Amino acid sequence: MDEQVAELAETLVEADGVTVLTGAGASAASGVPTFRGDGGIWGSEFAVENFTLDRFERDPRGFWEDRLELHDRMFGDVSGPNEAHRALAWLEELGVVDAVVTQNTDGLHREAGTQRLVELHGDASRSVCVECENAVSTEDALAAVRAGDAPPSCPEFGCEGHLRPDVVLYGEDLSEAAYGSARRLAWESDVLLVVGSSMTVEPAASLPVEAAERGELAVFDAAETAKDHLADYVVRGDAAETLPALVEAVQAQMPGMEKARSTREATRVR
Ligand SMILES: [Zn+2]
């Protein structure tokens, strides 16, 4: 791993544009369960069919009652951003990373300080009215569901719409703005760094293919991914350990940086 990380660090420091794409693996150390794969909650605990756009439109009350359970399972044990989130925010601050595109809806990149962030699948902490697009906190919406008022209604005076989570539901298209930004960022970048994504769901499946054709692709993942064969760099391990190692390697490449300062300390002072 060390040699790959050192080489990648050199590439990142010299690159004109670096975009990061993250998936569930980036949040694993924060206690967010994964959807797919071993230990994933789809299939074992929750049925995908209950969380589709179709279900929401047909049965908003049942959808929200199930969503409450899913939300508690997803975010009930979350401990906040982990070292992977902090390392990416720090790389942005160092001017090495330009933007983070994430498949996660947990908001942890923002909490860690990432400024330029594209949330492909939305933000689970927010809910919006289907009629007037008024946005409210999902905690407030869930409080209404817990009190037996499902689907939660829009608080806007005179609006009779109800709320939905501000996330992309199964069977629903991505927001064109988010998708367009992700494509453009990947297009403008010399390097695409993919962290903790199996890259099996679009557009996370095709962005690395295009990136590998145009520039360089780096994959940080605990397990083998569908795109390892296209990657110039493959680093195995928990992102909460491998990304801080990358930060240290990057700092070693940048003149004037305090090499002695560990990543942990460097991120803590932010
Ligand atoms: Zn409304």
Query: What residue ranges in the chain does DSSP mark as E strands?
Result: 18-22, 99-102, 117-119, 122-129, 135-137, 163-167, 191-195, 216-221, 233-236
In tens, the pLDDT along 146-171 reads 999 999 999 999 999 999 999 999 99
CA dist list (Å): 249 to 83, 146, 204, 252, 254: 15, 48, 26, 5, 9
Whole-number pLDDT of residue 270: 40
Whole-number pLDDT of residue 256: 63
Whole-number pLDDT of residue 264: 44
Q: Which residues fall inside 5 Å of ion ligand 1, going by CB? A: 129, 131-132, 134, 154, 156, 159, 161
* CA of residue 61 to ligand 1 center, whole Å: 17
Q: What is the mean pLDDT of residues 93-113?
A: 97
Domains annotated for the chain, with CATH where assigned, are: 1-31+81-121+175-270 (3.40.50.1220), 33-77+123-167 (3.30.1600.10)
Q: What is the mean pLDDT of residues 14-29?
A: 95
A 10 A CB-CB count for 86 gives 27
Whole-number pLDDT of residue 229: 96
Whole-number pLDDT of residue 127: 98
In tens, the pLDDT along 175-216 reads 999 999 999 999 899 999 999 998 988 888 899 998 999 999
- Coil, helix or strand at residue 45: coil
Regarding beta strands 163-167 and 122-129, do their DSSP bridges make them parallel or antiparallel, or are they unpaired? antiparallel
Q: What is the pLDDT confidence band of residue 13, given thresholds at 50, 70 and 90?
A: very high
Residue numbers in the known binding site for Zn(2+) are 129, 132, 154, 159
* CA of residue 129 to ligand 1 center, whole Å: 5
* CA of residue 156 to ligand 1 center, whole Å: 5
* CA of residue 180 to ligand 1 center, whole Å: 27
Q: What is the mean pLDDT of residues 27-37?
A: 87
Q: pLDDT above 90 covers what percent of the chain?
A: 82
* Residue 109 known to be catalytic: no
In tens, the pLDDT along 118-141 reads 999 999 999 999 999 999 999 999
Question: Which of 85, 109, 121, 162 is labelled catalytic?
Answer: 121
CB–CB of 160/154 below 8 Å? yes
Q: What is the mean pLDDT of residues 55-74?
A: 96
* CA of residue 201 to ligand 1 center, whole Å: 32
For residue 142, the surrounding DSSP H or E stretch is helix 138-146
Tell me the helices (H) and strands (E) count for the chain, helix number first.
10, 9
Whole-number pLDDT of residue 266: 47
